Chain A
Amino acid sequence: MDITMPLMILAIPLGMFLLLGLFGNKMSHKLAGWLGTLGMGTALVLAYTTAYQYFFSGSELFINAAGERLQHAVFDYTWLEFTEKLIIKLGFLLDPISAMMLVVITTISFMVHLYSLGYMHGEKGFQRYYAFLSLFSFSMLGLVVATNIFQMYIFWELVGASSYLLIGFYYTKPSAVAASKKAFIVTRFADLGFLIGILILSFYSSTFDFVTMTSNPQSVFASTAGTMFMGGSVLTWGLVLIFMGGMGKSAMMPLHIWLPDAMEGPTPVSALIHAATMVVAGVFLVARMFPVYIVQESALEIVTVVGALTALYAAIVACTQIDIKRVLAFSTISQIAFMVVSLGVARPDFHEGLGYMASMFHLFTHAMFKALLFLGAGALIHAVHSNDYTAMGGLRKYMPITHISFLIGCLAIAGIPPFAGFFSKDEILTAAFNNSPLWGIWMTGVAGLTAFYMFRLYYRIFWWNNPDYGHHTPHDGPWTMSLPLIILATISCVAGFIPFGEFVTWNGHEYIIHLDWTVATTSIVVAVCAIALATVMYRKENAIPTRMKNAMKGLWTAAYNRFYFDELYIFITHKIIFNLVSRPIAWFDRHIIDGTMDSFATMTNYASEKIKGLQSGSVQQYVWVYLVGALLLAGAVIVFVI
Chain B
Amino acid sequence: MELTMLYYIIPSLIMFCCGVYGFITRKNMIAILISLELMLNAVDINFVVFNRFLFPGQMEGMFFTLFAIAIAAAETALAIAIIINLFRVAKNIDVEDVNEMKF
Q: Do chains A and B touch in the complex (CB under 8 A)?
A: yes
Indicate if the CB atoms of B24 and A627 lie closer than 8 Å: yes
Considering only CB atoms, which chain A residue lies closest to B103 in the complex? A612
Considering only CB atoms, which chain B residue lies closest to A624 in the complex? B24
Indicate if the CB atoms of B23 and A623 lie closer than 8 Å: yes
- Mark each residue of chain A from 612 to 642: 1 if its CB lies under 8 Å from any CB of chain B, else 0: 1000111010011001000000000000000
Is B99's beta carbon under 8 Å from chain A?
Answer: yes
Indicate if the CB atoms of A623 and B102 lie closer than 8 Å: no
Q: What are the residues of chain B within 8 A of A616 when measuring CB–CB?
A: 102
Q: What are the residues of chain B within 8 A of A620 when measuring CB–CB?
A: 23-25, 32, 95
CA A623 – CA B16 in complex, angstroms? 14
- Give the Cβ gap from A158 to chain B, nearest Cβ, in Å: 63
- Give the Cβ gap from B29 to chain A, nearest Cβ, in Å: 11
Indicate if the CB atoms of B23 and A617 lie closer than 8 Å: no
Is B20's beta carbon under 8 Å from chain A?
Answer: yes
Considering only CB atoms, which chain A residue lies closest to B25 in the complex? A620
Indicate if the CB atoms of A623 and B95 lie closer than 8 Å: no
Q: Name the interface residues of B31-90: CB closer than 8 Å to any CB of A.
A: 32
Q: What are the residues of chain A within 8 A of B102 when measuring CB–CB?
A: 616-617
Q: What are the residues of chain B within 8 A of A617 when measuring CB–CB?
A: 99, 101-103
CA A623 – CA B39 in complex, angstroms? 13
Indicate if the CB atoms of B20 and A627 lie closer than 8 Å: yes
Given known A623-B23, A627-B24, contact A618–B103 (CB-CB < 8 A): no
CA A616 – CA B96 in complex, angstroms? 11
Indicate if the CB atoms of A623 and B24 lie closer than 8 Å: yes
- Give the Cβ gap from B70 to chain A, nearest Cβ, in Å: 23
Chain B residues bordering chain A, tally (CB within 8 A): 10
Considering only CB atoms, which chain B residue lies closest to A613 in the complex? B103
CA A617 – CA B96 in complex, angstroms? 11
Q: What are the residues of chain A within 8 A of B103 when measuring CB–CB?
A: 612, 617
CA A259 – CA B97 in complex, angstroms? 79
- Give the Cβ gap from B40 to chain A, nearest Cβ, in Å: 14
CA A618 – CA B32 in complex, angstroms? 12
CA A617 – CA B25 in complex, angstroms? 15
CA A540 – CA B25 in complex, angstroms? 114
- Give the Cβ gap from B46 to chain A, nearest Cβ, in Å: 17
CA A623 – CA B35 in complex, angstroms? 13
Indicate if the CB atoms of A618 and B20 lie closer than 8 Å: no
Q: What are the residues of chain A within 8 A of B25 when measuring CB–CB?
A: 620
Residue of B24, B32, B95, B102 most packed against chain A (CB within 10 A): B24
Q: What are the residues of chain B within 8 A of A618 when measuring CB–CB?
A: 95
CA A43 – CA B103 in complex, angstroms? 79
- Give the Cβ gap from B9 to chain A, nearest Cβ, in Å: 17
- Give the Cβ gap from B95 to chain A, nearest Cβ, in Å: 7
Q: What are the residues of chain B within 8 A of A623 when measuring CB–CB?
A: 20, 23-24
CA A27 – CA B70 in complex, angstroms? 94
Q: What are the residues of chain A within 8 A of B24 when measuring CB–CB?
A: 620, 623-624, 627
- Mark each residue of chain A from 594 to 607: 1 if its CB lies under 8 Å from any CB of chain B, else 0: 00000000000000
Considering only CB atoms, which chain B residue lies closest to A616 in the complex? B102
CA A474 – CA B95 in complex, angstroms? 98
- Give the Cβ gap from A624 to chain B, nearest Cβ, in Å: 5
Q: What are the residues of chain A within 8 A of B32 when measuring CB–CB?
A: 620
CA A623 – CA B17 in complex, angstroms? 13
Q: What are the residues of chain A within 8 A of B99 when measuring CB–CB?
A: 617
CA A617 – CA B102 in complex, angstroms? 7
CA A624 – CA B32 in complex, angstroms? 14
Q: What are the residues of chain A within 8 A of B95 when measuring CB–CB?
A: 618, 620
CA A616 – CA B99 in complex, angstroms? 10
- Give the Cβ gap from B48 to chain A, nearest Cβ, in Å: 24
Residue of A612, A617, A620 most packed against chain B (CB within 10 A): A620
- Give the Cβ gap from A220 to chain B, nearest Cβ, in Å: 76
Considering only CB atoms, which chain B residue lies closest to A622 in the complex? B24
Q: Name the interface residues of B5-34: CB closer than 8 Å to any CB of A.
A: 20, 23-25, 32
- Give the Cβ gap from A252 to chain B, nearest Cβ, in Å: 71
Q: What are the residues of chain B within 8 A of A627 when measuring CB–CB?
A: 20, 24
CA A175 – CA B71 in complex, angstroms? 89
CA A623 – CA B20 in complex, angstroms? 8
CA A617 – CA B23 in complex, angstroms? 15
- Give the Cβ gap from B35 to chain A, nearest Cβ, in Å: 10
CA A620 – CA B103 in complex, angstroms? 17
- Give the Cβ gap from A466 to chain B, nearest Cβ, in Å: 91
Q: What are the residues of chain B within 8 A of A624 when measuring CB–CB?
A: 24
CA A568 – CA B68 in complex, angstroms? 93
Q: Name the interface residues of A36-55: CB closer than 8 Å to any CB of B.
A: none
CA A618 – CA B23 in complex, angstroms? 11
- Give the Cβ gap from B89 to chain A, nearest Cβ, in Å: 18
CA A627 – CA B95 in complex, angstroms? 20
Considering only CB atoms, which chain A residue lies closest to B32 in the complex? A620
Q: Name the interface residues of A357-376: CB closer than 8 Å to any CB of B.
A: none
Q: What are the residues of chain A within 8 A of B23 when measuring CB–CB?
A: 620, 623
Considering only CB atoms, which chain A residue lies closest to B96 in the complex? A618
- Give the Cβ gap from B7 to chain A, nearest Cβ, in Å: 24
CA A590 – CA B101 in complex, angstroms? 37
Considering only CB atoms, which chain A residue lies closest to B26 in the complex? A620
* Chain B interface (Cβ < 8 Å from any Cβ of A): 20, 23-25, 32, 95, 99, 101-103
The 10 lowest CB-CB distance pairs between A and B, nearest first, are A617-B102, A624-B24, A620-B24, A623-B24, A623-B23, A612-B103, A620-B23, A627-B20, A618-B95, A620-B95
With A612-B103, A620-B25, A624-B24 given, name 15 new contacts (CB 8 A).
A616-B102, A617-B99, A617-B101, A617-B102, A617-B103, A618-B95, A620-B23, A620-B24, A620-B32, A620-B95, A623-B20, A623-B23, A623-B24, A627-B20, A627-B24
- Could you name 17 residue pairs across A and B whose Cβ atoms are closer than 8 Å? A612-B103, A616-B102, A617-B99, A617-B101, A617-B102, A617-B103, A620-B23, A620-B24, A620-B25, A620-B32, A620-B95, A623-B20, A623-B23, A623-B24, A624-B24, A627-B20, A627-B24
